[in-house]
Amino acid sequence: MVFLFLCDAERGAVFARAFAEHLPDVRFSMDAGSVDPGEVRYIMTWKPPEDLARYPNLEAVFCIGAGVDQFANVSLPSRVKLIRMVDDGITRMVVEYVVMAVLSLHRNLHVYIHQQRQRAWREINPQPQPADRRVSVLGLGVLGAAAAAKLQGFGFKLSGWSRTKRALDGMVCFSGADGLRDMLAATDILVCLLPLTPETTGILNAELFSTLPEGASLVHAGRGRQLISDALITALDRGHLSGAFLDVVDPEPLPPAHPLWTHPKVVLTPHIAAITQPGSAAMTTIENLKLLKAGRDPVGLVGRADLHRH
């Protein structure tokens, strides 16, 4: 029984040590050419391998990240489970990023950085208090709910939107197209943590930005293809939006001449809101393997209907 790790060798070394200690009966390999394809039961990867058909006894594909939209057009045999990474380390890092970005926009950090480059010493007054700000989260899954819970401690007014109706303590929850419009119209800082689906592709567009109040701002840590960059730049240049923190764009990286690189109202980070931490991810994977071997569903199992919405 072989677990084939098709990711980077640095993280693979951490996984190998964890498997040797906690799951010695499963052979861990990082070299597809050195193992009998018939013995491979599990594969961990980020991008779907092009040669999945060569593994006749494959039981599960583990995605090393939280997002699985890259598997949307992959024909996985019905017997093969797809499991996304649900790891406390990923959740913690996303929450850190969202809190950092929301507080930075709340306190006008992007403006002060621009002023520093111009050697300008100017206060921005008045400074609104958290109780005067409505922070709204698009996407109320594990990451969105965790980020909203942490933001509650700062005293912001909170709203959230999801495709289906949710109820979370400490925030007003919306769903559906009408709910989205209602939430956006009262939002000061919008946080996008949506998965990529046909419905969310291009959702951060001119119509959405125009629905936000003048002076609103954006934190985008969902998926790059959800953002229409030209629409965001137009909204920023016209002053309708006051700022944006972007961790994901399309393409990644942006072309050198793209205006988002140097836009004075934009803080751009290179898709680092969450980076899978090898130690905790290895233990999460090992616990999931134990569940699979016991005939139980693993944590992070992706339903076929959910996958085909991507």
The catalytic position among 163, 258, 271, 309 is 271
Cis, bond preceding 251 (omega within 30 deg of 0): yes
Cβ–Cβ contacts within 10 Å for residue 238, how many?
10
- Amino acid letter at 58? L
Extended beta strands in 109-240, E state:
134-138, 157-162, 172-175, 189-192, 216-220
Identify the burial level of 163 via C-beta atoms within 10 angstroms of its C-beta, where 0-12 means exposed, 13-18 middle and 19 or more buried.
middle
Tokens matching residue 160: 């959230």
Active site includes 79? no
114 is catalytic: no
Q: Any idea which residue has 């003048």 for tokens?
A: 214
3-state class percentages of the chain: helix first, strand second, coil last, to nearest 5: 40, 20, 45
- Find out whether 63 and 24 touch, Cβ atoms under 8 Å: no
Mind giving me the DSSP string for 28-93? Answer: EES-GGGS-GGGEEEEEESSPPTTGGG-TT--EEEESSS--GGGTT----TT-EEE----HHHHHH
Residue of 84, 110, 223, 310 marked catalytic: 223
Rounded CA-CA distance 130/103 in Å is 9
Catalytic positions, written as ranges: 223, 271
